[in-house]
Amino acid sequence: MDTALALHRFHFAFTVMFHYLFVQLTLGLGFLIFVLKTLALVKRDEHYNDCARFWARIFAVNFALGVVTGIPMEFQFGTNWSRFSRDAGGVIGQTLGMEGLYTFFLESAFLGFLLYGEKMLGRIGHWGSAVAVWIGSWLSAYLIVATDAWMQHPTGYRIAADGQILLTSWWSLIFNEWAAWQFVHTILGGVVTGSFAMAGIGAFYIFLKKSEASARVFLRVGVITGLIAAILVAFPTGDHQGKLVARYQGVTLAAMEGHFVTQPASPLAIIGQPDVNKGRLDNPATVPGALSFMIYGNWTKEVRGLGDFPRDTWPDNIPLLYYAFHIMVGLGTLFILLMGLSAIQLWRGKLAQTKILLWALVLFMPLPYIANTAGWMTAEMGRQPWIIFGLMRTAAGASPHVSSGNALFTLLGFMGLYTLLFLLGLFLIWRILGEGPERHAEAAA
């Protein structure tokens, strides 16, 4: 891989991964704020409204930083990936344009009502603004995911005489089979992030003996929602996503599982270190036949190994892909375990007194960010060496006239600027946490 192409890839990876730090929390909090507003409306308990106002302000900080870091990604299609934009712009421009023109403005307009329009809208109207923010954020995510899903599994297109990819079916683009499962899996990952943030902050307040009534609400809503979301991330959404990879990207499945040799009763690797040159896993711990069962529902069926695929179609960083996938799965398992134990103690009425679980909820807050990032790394590195799977190679999509020096210059600039934005976001959120829910209740009174 030449230096310029490597920098283009790393530049976009850095930009999108940093951007997604904020997006995943807004995806989760949008739904959780709706839950809190619904509880306030149904129970006629103003305390839930106080909690919703508190999290709406944290949502607003994340939303603002997500907008600021998301816009440059759109420009990078033109600056760093001009040949991809030229040839595929007629397809991806459909979903990206709709996301910017419709769902983004729906979300941002009603976020203003959610933050500042409570007295004007009344109880029902303000609840409606929370619904619109939640739906807007998820619709926005769907259109972005549909774009990526088309790159993973292109449908509804034809190739023009000049090489451009033209859309022949808008419905195939929007309702791509890959998009549906990838969207639900992605959304639930965001809900897990939001739930761990809410439960972790609740546990933090319990330790500080501050805002304890609100802290118990955060624990209750965060743990219950987090447990449900963590289970659904694994099954059925993760399971179906894996089956799609097996059906359409067999080489990707083999690489992320560290499965080098085609064999019946294919084993599932729990741990191990991939040695690509020797075509094997070192020090493996495997479950015989489990990979065959997970993919085909049959313990003895044969699963193709990497050795059955042409070498030039292999993902170009198999060890990193393998570890990213296993980190995602391992953390997801821990999330189910922690939220399950917390839910048991919550049901027994003892969670607020179980210090080991409260500490775990606080310490686990960063881990969903790692799991979501590892998940996206699995998806995007697994697609390589294609920018559009089976249709356009990544090297063919890069800008031919942007040198490695230019790419490195802008990358360093982005890194410096985004570091400042990250510190600003931490400062603003820490201030909101320091004020606590009561401060926002007083401001609304």
pLDDT in tens, 207-231: 998 889 999 999 999 999 999 999 9
Percent of the chain exceeding pLDDT 90 equals 80
Query: Which residue matches tokens 């992320």?
Result: 256
The pair of three-digit structure tokens given for residue 259, joined into one six-digit string: 């499965």
Going by pLDDT thresholds of 50, 70 and 90, the confidence category of residue 165 is: very high
Query: Which residue matches tokens 């106002």?
Result: 53
Residue 302 clears pLDDT 80, i.e. is over it: yes
Query: Mean pLDDT across the chain, nearest whole number?
Result: 92
- Residue 106 has, within 13 A of its CA and on its CB side, a CA count of 19
Instruction: Collect all residues with Cβ–Cβ distance below 8 Å to 116 and sequence separation of at least 6.
Output: none
Residue 444 confidence (pLDDT) = 52
pLDDT in tens, 20-42: 999 999 999 999 999 999 999 99
The pair of three-digit structure tokens given for residue 371, joined into one six-digit string: 């799991």
Residue 237 clears pLDDT 80, i.e. is over it: yes
- Averaged pLDDT for residues 235-245: 93
Residue 419 clears pLDDT 90, i.e. is over it: yes
Phi, psi values for residue 280, rounded to 5° = -155, 165
> How much of the chain is helix, strand and coil, in % rounded to 5?
75, 5, 15
Going by pLDDT thresholds of 50, 70 and 90, the confidence category of residue 1 is: low
Could you count the other beta carbons within 10 Å of the beta carbon of residue 309?
16
Name the β-bridge partners of 287: 268
Residue 2 clears pLDDT 90, i.e. is over it: no
Residue 109 clears pLDDT 90, i.e. is over it: no
Residue 119 clears pLDDT 70, i.e. is over it: yes
Give the whole-angstrom CA distance, residue 251 versus residue 294. Answer: 16
Give the whole-angstrom CA distance, residue 265 versus residue 305. Answer: 12
Residue 440 confidence (pLDDT) = 53
Phi, psi values for residue 388, rounded to 5° = -125, 115
Going by pLDDT thresholds of 50, 70 and 90, the confidence category of residue 178 is: very high
Contact by Cβ (8 Å): 319, 276 = yes
Nearest to 351 by CA among 228, 220, 231: 220
pLDDT in tens, 319-358: 999 999 999 999 999 999 999 999 999 999 999 999 999 9
Give the whole-angstrom CA distance, residue 213 versus residue 76. Answer: 46
Beta strand pairing status for 165-167 and 157-159? Answer: antiparallel
Burial status of residue 38 (CB atoms within 10 A of its CB: 0-12, 13-18, 19 or more):
middle
Give the whole-angstrom CA distance, residue 85 versus residue 398. Answer: 9
- Range name among 34-38, 99-103, 190-194 with the lowest pLDDT average: 99-103
141 to 98, 237, 242: CA distances (angstroms): 11, 16, 20
Going by pLDDT thresholds of 50, 70 and 90, the confidence category of residue 439 is: low
Strand, helix or coil at 410? Answer: helix
* Longest Cα–Cα distance in the chain: 69
Name the β-bridge partners of 158: 166
Residue 61 confidence (pLDDT) = 95
Contact by Cβ (8 Å): 141, 167 = no
Burial status of residue 229 (CB atoms within 10 A of its CB: 0-12, 13-18, 19 or more):
buried
